[in-house]
A and B are shown apart, each in its own frame.
Chain A
Amino acid sequence: QVQLQQSGAELAKPGSSVKISCKASGYTFTAYDISWITQTTGQGLDYIGYINTGSGGTYYNEKFKGKATLTVDKSSSTAFMQLSSLTPEDTAVYYCARRVNGGDYWGQGVMVTVSS
């Protein structure tokens, strides 16, 4: 069955970076794009962008350009998102989702907390 397994919670200092992962299984990884979505209590859900897992091409929501960098490792069927120059406002849960019909399978989410 299709699964997207995300890495564990992160605690980061302001100004630092974190890299979270999303390991896919149960299907051909390079057949479908992977989207990334953020969820905060105050702002709700927001779309970060997606990566073409075959070509590595990336497409970012303007809001997240310069904040998020999407990459893939085809050999391990894993997508990554690096978040840079973290501020407390980046504290959120980050989800990956397979980009079929908008988003058919989602990961369980990674809580990223930014605090000094």
Chain B
Amino acid sequence: DVQMTQSPSLLSASVGDRVTINCKASQNINKYLNWCQQKLGEAPKLLIYNTNNLQTGIPSRFCGSGSGTDFTLTISSLQPEDFGTYFCFQHNSWPLTFGSGTKLEIK
């Protein structure tokens, strides 16, 4: 299985900050890397699919980049509603595999 290494596991930031979260795949996954946001008790929400495509309804402050094995999620100006947990997952190889998550907290 493709191993997904996500960093950092915990991130403290302030409203208005620019933040980045990284995911590294153990092998080439081409462009098939997605990012989701998860809040306690809610359905995970897809933010970015296939590296850099913004899911419908997601604000443009969310941006994805990368290729091959290294990928980044950037939030350009953090808003209060952005706090929660973020995870990446790859859907290039069977089975889908997930990063361990990044908890984004208010500083």
Contact of A103 among B91, B95, B100, B101 (CB under 8 A): B91
Cα(A59)–Cα(B34), bound, Å: 21
**Nearest Cβ distance between residue B38 and chain A, in whole angstroms?**
9
* Contact between chains at B98 and A106 (CB < 8 Å): no
Q: How many residues of B sit at the interface, in one of the four size bands?
A: 20 to 34
Residue of B nearest to A3 (CB): B43
Instruction: Given the known inter-chain contacts A35-B96, A45-B87, A47-B95, please indicate yes or no for A102 contacting B34, CB distance below 8 A.
Output: yes
Cα(A35)–Cα(B42), bound, Å: 17
A95 at the interface (CB under 8 A from B): yes
Of B44, B90, B91, B97, most buried by chain A (CB within 10 Å of CB) is B44
Q: Give chain A interface residues in 53-100, CB to chain B under 8 Å.
A: 59, 61-63, 95, 97
Residue of B nearest to A63 (CB): B95
**Nearest Cβ distance between residue A73 and chain B, in whole angstroms?**
21
Cα(A108)–Cα(B90), bound, Å: 21
A26 at the interface (CB under 8 A from B): no
Instruction: Given the known inter-chain contacts A101-B46, A102-B89, please indicate yes or no for A47 contacting B98, CB distance below 8 A.
Output: yes
**Residues of chain A whose beta carbon lies under 8 Å from any beta carbon of chain B:** 4, 35, 37, 44-47, 49, 59, 61-63, 95, 97, 101-109
**Residues of chain B whose beta carbon lies under 8 Å from any beta carbon of chain A:** 32, 34, 36, 41-46, 49-50, 53, 55, 87, 89-91, 94-98, 100-101
Known A102-B46, A108-B41; 19 more pairs at CB < 8 Å: A35-B96, A37-B98, A44-B101, A45-B101, A47-B95, A47-B96, A95-B43, A95-B44, A101-B34, A101-B53, A101-B91, A102-B91, A103-B36, A103-B46, A103-B89, A105-B43, A106-B36, A107-B43, A108-B43
